[in-house]
Structure 1
Amino acid sequence: MADLNDARNTSLSTASTQEGKRVKIVHLSGPIRIILETDEPMEVETFTREQLELDGTERASPANNDKDFRVVCLSGPIQIHLPVDQLGAFRTISSEELCDNNEGQGTLFTPIDKNKPSATEFDCNNPNDTLSPFCPYIPGNEILLKASETGRPIRAKILKYFPATLSCCMVIRFLDPPIFNNTSECVLKLFDRRFSTQQREEREPWSPELENKYQKFVRCGDAEELFSYWNAEKEDFDEWSSAYVRNSRRWSAVKWETYLHWMSTTMYKVEKKAYEHMTDLQGEAVPKMLGEVVLDQAPVVPEGEDDPERMEEDSASISSIDPDEHPEVVSISGLLLQHIEGFHMTDVHEHLPYEHWQSTVDSAIEVLHRIQACGIVNRDINTRSFIVNPLTRKVMMIDYGLVGFREDCEDEQTWDMVQANQDEEGAVGQVMRAMLKGKGDGGKGIVYKPSERAWRLLYRFGSEEGEMEAGTEEEDEYVEKHKDFVFDK
């Protein structure tokens, strides 16, 4: 489904209607599937131009599950006009109608009926709002785990849940045992594809029925076969993903579920490896890794199963899958991490006075340099990944599920090129400079001064003439010329 809030898929501009209301103009491209709420259930999906010519402009189809719906054929370019102050209802218009409207022939949107209920938008920042109604990670609930190394059972209580991540991240308090690895509370980062909000943005929500299909896929050996294939692809190309598969959009739901589990397992391995590389930084620049766990899962049986014998058979068959024999395709792994108290660096202007903004951002860049020195490059650098202690102003970095390692590069030159292309330092300094611009007293902000390392990488890999040789007098002259340059406020 086209996400109207996703800047990667849309381009936004504003326009005025004849009634003086402000609207957003959203230009959509690619296959679009739109679910529209109406008085009667309606489902709208797009067809190709060839299908349009063969089938006509509108056709009715048999309803699934006794629901009425219509199939409407749309042809691009398509513009959807959304009232800025009243999101929730919209209609499509043709390019001809748009031209007429721009010349003063009618309005550009359908007025909203405020008395009509509208669909609730998913808010991943609300701990009580989860992607699936089956999600058990709710503050107050208990969670059962097992220590990966010893198999020791662990019972804990969920204190806080952070749903807007690639994993399921929560603060827990240990109940039995009350102390684990010298701590009573920590962050549990569980790589659970079932309830990962970001991984399932374009997938159907998890359900017990879908889980049964996946478990059957595991038992017949198909899941392990796909894991082997995808592992080989990633071994050959570290950044491989489903985006490189031409027909991935036609994958079945259970194959997508297998892929999501593979992705979660891969991110767990990567993040664990990253913390092992940063042993000397743990507790200083990054959180301490306190342990590794797996979710202690109960047998999955769909609700509403009215055949007791079938229920017992399904329950037994699912529970008979031995995680030791199928560790990758069955187990849901997690990391226990030190709980860092503080705020996201993106909110520094709300928590610290202006005179501390510059030093805080500089500290974050220094932390980044120390992590890079461990042979790690972050492919998903985000300024929200830096947590600032409001009392000490100490900065730590979190989230390492999408990183690369120096050891995976052929040579030092390749590693330098990877770092140059990623430009992690600029992704922090420049973004924070732009974010804080004008927010200080008297319209003040912060500056960003690139490091010498950043200038050397830019000289070698940023030239339009191609890659330049390293360690030359020309490189030294370039660095000397630019070393004092500052991106100002």
Structure 2
Amino acid sequence: MERSQPPASAYCENQVLSLNIESSHGFLSSSLRYRSFIATYSHGRSKVQLQVRALQQPWTLSCGMVAVVVDGAEEAALRADNKIPPWTTDIEDSYVNFLQSDQAASLFDQMTNDEYFKFGKDKWHDYESEALLSKELLAAYNAETAAYEALVGHQGKIVPRLLGKVTFDLPPETPVPSNMLDHIQVKGILLQYLPGFTLSELDQHVPQPDWQGVIDEAVRITRTLGDLNILNYDVRPSNFMVVPVVNNEYQVFIIDFGWCRLRQAHESDAEWGRAKWQRDEEGAVGLVMQHRLREKGYEYKFEHSLRYLEWAPGEDD
């Protein structure tokens, strides 16, 4: 039976995984030729087999791999945050039975529309906890893919290229209704590999005279997200990749959009501006790196744009 949310132990080095892939903007066929994948490609869809080269542990919300599977890193963090017990076959059986029942659709609707629903989760059945986990993982996948679609003109420049959306080729032994498949399938994205290091490791790989410019570029990228109406709740130095190019030059990319959203059509300038101000994405990288490097005797010169200052909460708010 397919594991709806496999634990980290379900994967190992040299394991071969079979994925169904929907290519993105024509990048897939040309990119797979040199990535040692076994692939068949037809009409925008393909089936590939890839070998796990390395596992990065402990699991975090940003794993450095070409295939970013929305079940390992996010699942571990969400289980911990929501105090959901570790996956077992008994829990999975309970969850699959739930998906086959008439109450599944109504429970997912309630989770979506009732903001107080989670307050009673200490009394939930295991299948309800798994349903919440599935819903949040699916939301992370949808947020990530929506962000890459919004950033299509910047892929390969400030974000990796999205090569395709993937689904593990593991049909469940016990059939579930078609409208419940999204809540049992393991989904992910196939990204351009970035041969570099995170911004958190800047001092270990980059000469000090270049620190200012590299961090400035990361800050500039957060401002570009604002230009494109993207709000990222998870901006931090470890979610930037720095790739050496030539002659002490570096290209900076932002990764991991599982916790982000796009501006809504009904959102006013004031509502959007306040949300952006309260999150302070450029400070989440500029101020944080300034503090870290100050401890190493280096003063990074960070100047906040104050772009959303006019929508900051006032004394009456």
User: Structure 2 CA distance, aligned partners of 1:194 and 1:352?
Assistant: 28
TM-superposed CA distance for 1:245, in Å, is 2.7
Q: Per-residue deviation at 1:231? A: 3.0
Give the match for residue 19 of structure 2: 145
Structure 1 residues 459 and 133: CA distance shift in structure 2, 3 A: closer
Show the 5 A alignment for 1:379-458. Answer: 379-391=233-245, 392-439=249-296, 443-451=297-305, 454=306, 456-458=307-309
Task: Name the CA distance, whole Å, in 2 between partners of 1:134 and 1:357.
Answer: 35
TM-score for the superposition, normalised by structure 2: 0.82
Does residue 321 (structure 1) correspond to residue 195 (structure 2)? The answer is no
Compared with structure 1, are the counterparts of its residues 359 and 409 closer, same or farther at alpha carbon in structure 2 (3 Å cutoff)? Answer: farther
The 8 Å contact of residues 166 and 199 in structure 1, kept in 2 or not, is answered as no
Matched, 1:276 2:149: yes
Partner deviation per Cα, 1:163-189 (whole Å, 9 max, x = no partner)? 52348x563xxxxxxxxxxxxxxx112
Q: Distance in 1 between matches of 2:99 and 2:200?
A: 42
Q: Can you list the C-alpha shifts for 1:48-68, whole angstroms capped at 9, x where unaligned?
A: xxxxxxxxxxxxxxxxxxxxx
Contact 2:199 2:241 (8 Å CA) reproduced: yes
Q: Which has the larger radius of gyration?
A: 1
Q: Which residue of 2 aligns with 1:377?
A: 231
Q: Distance in 2 between matches of 1:423 and 1:353?
A: 28
Q: CA deviation at 1:225?
A: 2.2
Tell me the secondary structure at the aligned position of residue 197 of structure 1: helix
Instruction: Identify unmatched segments of 5+ residues in structure 1.
Output: 1-130, 172-186, 234-239, 300-314, 467-489
Deviation at 1:156, TM superposition (A): 1.3
1:192 counterpart letter in structure 2: D
Ranked by relative contact order (alpha carbons within 8 Å, sequence separation 6 or more), the top structure is 2
- What is the alpha-carbon root mean square deviation over aligned residues? 2.5
Partners in 2 of 1:265 and 1:211 — Cα distance? 17
Would you say how many aligned residue pairs link Structure 1 and Structure 2?
287
**Does 1:157 find its partner at 2:51?**
yes
Query: Aligned partners of 1:206 and 1:377: how far apart in 2?
Result: 32
Whether the 8 Å CA contact 1:134–1:207 is kept in 2: the answer is no
Which 4+ stretches in 1 moved above 6 angstroms?
131-134
Gapped regions of structure 2 (runs ≥ 5): 24-43
Cα contact 1:223–1:329 (8 A) shared by 2: no
**Residue 201 of structure 2 corresponds to residue 347 of structure 1:** yes
TM-fit CA distance, 1:384: 0.7
Query: Secondary structure at 1:370's aligned position in 2?
Result: helix
Does residue 250 (structure 1) correspond to residue 123 (structure 2)? The answer is yes
Report what 1:119 is aligned to.
none
Structure having the higher helix fraction is 2
Q: Which residue of 1 aligns with 2:70?
A: 191
Pairing partner for 2:102 from 206, 218, 221: 221
CA contact (8 A) 1:343 1:388 kept: yes
For residue 411 of structure 1, report the CA deviation from its aligned partner: 1.4
TM-score (norm 1): 0.54
> What is the 5 A alignment of 1:64-83?
none
Query: Share of identical aligned residues, percent?
Result: 26
CA spacing shift, 1:166–1:355, aligned 2, 3 Å: closer
Which of 124, 129, 132 does residue 259 from structure 1 map onto? 132
The corresponding residue for 2:32 is: none
**Counterpart-to-counterpart distance in 2, 1:341 and 1:415:** 35
